[in-house]
Amino acid sequence: MTILSFMNHTIFDNGATSKLAKTLQQCNIERPLLCTDAGLVKIGLVEKIEGLLRESTQLTIFDGTPENPTQIAVEDAAKMYQEMDCDGIISLGGGSSMDLGKAVALAVSHKGELSEYTAGLKGAKRIEKVAPVIAIPTTSGTGSEISTGAVIIMKTGEKLILASRELIPVIAICDPLLTLPLPARLTAATGMDAMTHCIEGLLSNQINPPAEAVACDGIQRGIRDGHLSQAVKDGKDEVARWNMMMASLEGAMAFSKGLGAVHSMSHACGADQSLRLHHGTLNAVILPTILDFNRDHVGDKYERLNIALGNKPNSNPSEFIRELNSKLGLPANLTEMGVKSDSIPELATHAVKDICTFTTPRTCRLEDYIQLFETAMN
């Protein structure tokens, strides 16, 4: 069983969930709150996880995680945590369940409104020790199981980021077999989420050569080596699923040096709860536009990116990604996803304030975001 220590302690292998009971014991968690979604209850995965626990474990289940986690859902889960006298959290699911679990861990251990702890308000400095979280991803995309951040839609409608090393799950249990039931469309979307993390991490304006090397390995693993396309083609391919979960981890390692305008724009679009847009799909659709925008501001990084993609060194990576999105069955633009052109001013205003804007390789002003959204619409 592979043990990785980068951001946290990660147990990674097929069948890794068998270590859950021992992990809870190591963390001194006897009364965990399981943060998950109704879909995983329906397919029987939650019941399977319950069967792995010791008889003495008192499990409470919160299965109300929305597609994009909200402050209201966090407060509901936190209330359940306190009423049942829980002493830790298991986050089971995609990025939404893991982000929700992190936010609950913060809410039950800190006073005041959740918005007081957001990254844009320098809330990280106010975040101290939180309730312990064990993260078990069921998709290969967000990397939230080892990251410092959680993205939550506030009651105001803003999609804000909580970020602190205190929010990193104490242990991540990464079992690629849990991703076998994922349908092709969701496999493609989450896979491109992981690839966008790797690409934006590589291109970030922060200096971190080791993280860039990890980013290139993740891109190569997912795209040049063909594991993303294979996982979409044959969801039961365990080798492809293993490699995509590793690429997802690598994406989170890479974005420890920051993200960029793709995420600022996708966070803005994802805040519209009426559209319920998938974050990974948004990233995939927006990525080519930002690759064009950044082209003359990244030094030799596009050559390195192209090599990792399996593309010719001097080629245009944005065209490569557009073609890849098409092959994966993803939308070609934001219009196809339901975004309306009259919402662009509001979206641009949201994006320019997003924390990811500060690490993009090319400065993005409000007028830039307006133009970028117009381009991504078409």
User: What is the tens place of the pLDDT at every residue in 283-295?
Assistant: 999 999 999 999 9
DSSP per-residue codes, 115-158: GGGBGGGTGGGG------EEEEESSSS--GGG-SEEEEE-TTS-
**Domain coordinates of the chain in residue numbers?**
2-178, 182-377
Residue 5 has pLDDT above 50, yes or no: no
Residue 343 binned pLDDT confidence (cut-offs 50, 70, 90): very high
User: If you average pLDDT over every residue of the chain, what do you get?
Assistant: 95
Q: What is the pLDDT of residue 316?
A: 92
Contact 101, 47 (CB under 8 A): no
The mean-pLDDT minimum among 58-67, 159-168, 355-364, 369-378 falls in: 159-168
Q: What is the pLDDT of residue 67?
A: 87
Residue 120 has pLDDT above 80, yes or no: no
Backbone angles phi, psi at 19, to 5 degrees: -90, 5
pLDDT tens track for 226-272: 999 999 999 999 999 999 999 999 999 999 899 999 999 999 999 88
Q: What is the mean pLDDT of residues 22-39?
A: 97
Q: What is the pLDDT of residue 3?
A: 54
pTM over 0.85: yes
* Fold that domain 2-178 belongs to in CATH: Rossmann fold (3.40.50)
The mean-pLDDT minimum among 71-75, 157-161, 214-218 falls in: 157-161
Residue 1 has pLDDT above 80, yes or no: no
Please tell me if the domain spanning 2-178 has the same topology as the one spanning 182-377: no
Residue 213 binned pLDDT confidence (cut-offs 50, 70, 90): very high
Residues 6+ positions from 340 with CB-CB distance below 8 Å? none
CATH hierarchy code of domain 182-377: 1.20.1090.10
